[in-house]
Structure 1
Amino acid sequence: MLVHPTLDTLQALGLHGMAKAFKDLGQNPEARALEHAEWLGLLLEHEMTVRHQKRFEARARAAKLRHPASVEDVDYRTARGLDRALFLELAGCDWITKHRNLIITGACGLGKSWLACALGHKACREDFSVLYYRMPRLLGTLALARGDGRYAKLLRSLARVKLLILDDWGPETLTPEQARDLLEIVEDRTDAGSILVTSQVPVPCWHDMIGIPTIADAILDRLVHSAYRIELSGDSLRKSRSA
């Protein structure tokens, strides 16, 4: 077998996973007993694994998640009202496929952002596009974009991703301009993508936090009514770990 020309051809075609598997199998004496179909199947399987890993790494970089969190590392033992069955269901990412939303509320220090990033990380692994923003920073970025002509482009980038994570919303009341920005984001994603919101403010108070009644009705109708909810309670995890 002409090993080196075959490796060069695989590399030239961009089949780097197959090239590595071809080299590894060639050095494995047990692989000589494989049929041609089995050999080819192993090469293709390795190529698919490598490509999936590269896609995940690219999606994770683009998501810009705040925490390197994973759903496998979630702490269910601490008393904070986290429903294990619900969270495991959400980790399956079916809610993203169905364009439903998720709201995580609770006091400071209960791990809302960490849980949101864990679900975002899992969505990247399942080949969904994800984008993370802290809500105050996003509102500031939108205000700057409106002034320098990037506003429409930024809204399009927010609308394209399958999961948009809006972390740490509230408790400040939105300005009229910010309320309209949020309405644009939610409207663009209705039946097209999912939104994950974390907030220290309970959902019943969100209407007042938006400020303008008509805009608040429109936002909450689209955001809340189709959303799963995780309502955390208890003492701050930071305090318990420090103790």
Structure 2
Amino acid sequence: MSKRNWDEEVSQFSKALKLSTINHHFKEEVKEATERDASYEEFLALLLQREMDTRDENARYNRIRRAEFPYKRYLEDLVIGELPPDAQKKLKRLKTLDFIEEGRNVILAGNPGTGKSHMSIGLGIKACMEGYKVWFTTVPLLINRIKECRSEKTLRAFQNRFEKYDLVIADEMGYISFDKEGAELLFTHLSLRAAQKSTIITTNLSFERWGEIFQDPVMTAAMIDRLTHQAYIVNMNGNSYRMKETKKWLEDQQLV
């Protein structure tokens, strides 16, 4: 009776079960377990844990990739002391991500360069790391996407996806004004998530100036009411991060 090739059988079974990490590292784990004189239970548990850890890491990577962040920014990279005072005060609470579980919005409002996009992307990446489904877009790109979907008759599919994201980040509200059609489409889609799913909005305009974007006082009032209901509103007015970085860069150049 021929001796069974256990290594080959483990490889075949792990491939069939799509256990790629076990397939690639089985012999290595066997060697380490033999050297430690590990029990069968310990060996099996550690082998499965390695497979699970790899899957978790791949899932985190894929959530971040699918979120479509324009670049990566992490909360750990924020210089807390340079954030506007209100952001310093509220960031600790926002970092818990409780607002996602509660379906509450976050509005970061203030002048350019104060860390709004950095904070929103940092919160988004943290959410991806913790298992939430996130999508990042700018408001102008969102409106264009909705219009394209409508013309291609794929709007219902887009709406279904849009409603299901745990967190949508809509950046740059107010940097570009849009027509009445765009305003209505934006209002409709953001309303789909109201009081159910979380949306982070960054804007350089105070609420009093949102009429410049929507060009309709009734719609403006309705949009503000929907978005701000039980929302975390963070005053991001302060000194510009980018101006500080530019000043430091110029000073460094003079020292060269």
Match of 2:13 among 9, 14, 17: 9
How many angstroms does 1:27 deviate by? 2.5
Q: Name the counterpart of 1:46.
A: 50
Corresponding residue for residue 205 of structure 1: 209
Residue pairs, 1:70-89, within 5 angstroms: 70-81=74-85, 83-84=87-88, 86-89=90-93
Q: 1:107 matched to which residue of 2?
A: 111
Deviations 1:3-24 (A, max 9, x none): 3321331122111233345333
Distance 1:82 1:51, change over 3 A: farther
Where does structure 2 lack aligned partners over 5 or more consecutive residues? 248-256
Q: Which residue of structure 1 lines up, in the alignment, with residue 94 of structure 2?
A: 90
Gaps of 5+ in 1: none
| 1:165 match | 169
Which residue of the other structure, out of 239, 242, 245, is the alignment partner of 1:238? 242
Tell me the equivalent position of 1:23.
27
Describe the SS at the equivalent of 2:171.
strand
In structure 2, relative to structure 1, the CA distance for the partners of 1:197 and 1:79 (3 Å cut) is closer
- What's the CA shift for 1:240? 1.0
After superposition, the Cα gap between the structure-2 partners of 1:21 and 1:91, relative to the gap in structure 1 and judged at 3 Å, is farther
Distance 1:174 1:73 in 2: 34
Counterpart CA distance in 2 for 1:43 and 1:73 is 35
What SS does the aligned partner of 1:233 have? coil
AA of the residue aligned to 1:143? K
Q: After alignment, is 53-62 or 74-83 more displaced?
A: 74-83
**1:133-189 Cα deviation digits (max 9, x unpaired):** 111121122223333323333222222211111000005554321222122112211
**Are 2:181 and 1:181 aligned?**
no
- Normalising by structure 2, report the TM-score: 0.85
Q: Give, as a single letter, the amino acid of the residue that structure 2 aligns with 1:222.
A: R
**Within 2, Cα distance between the matches of 1:44 and 1:222?**
46
Rg larger for: 2
Shift, 1:208, TM fit: 5.5
Note if contact 1:105-1:232 (Cα within 8 Å) is conserved in structure 2: yes
Contact 1:162 1:193 in 2 (8 A): yes
Q: Give, in whole Å, the separation in 2 of the partners of 1:98 and 1:229.
A: 15
C-alpha spacing 1:49/1:89, structure 2 compared with 1 (3 Å):
farther
* Between 25-34 and 219-228, the greater mean CA deviation after superposition: 25-34
Q: Which of 223, 226, 232 is the aligned partner of 1:222?
A: 226
Say yes or no: does 1:129 pair with 2:115: no
Which AA in structure 2 matches 1:35?
Answer: S
Root-mean-square deviation (CA, aligned residues, Å) is: 2.3
Residue in 1 that maps onto 2:251: none
CA distance in 2, matches of 1:6, 1:189: 47
Inter-partner Cα distance in structure 2 for 1:104 and 1:161? 20
Length, aligned pairs only: 243
Identical counterparts, % of pairs = 26
User: What letter matches 1:108 in structure 2?
Assistant: P
Counterpart CA distance in 1 for 2:163 and 2:64 is 18
With over 3 angstroms needed to count, the CA separation of the structure-2 counterparts of 1:174 and 1:34, relative to structure 1, is same
> Which stretch shows the higher mean deviation, 198-207 or 102-111?
198-207
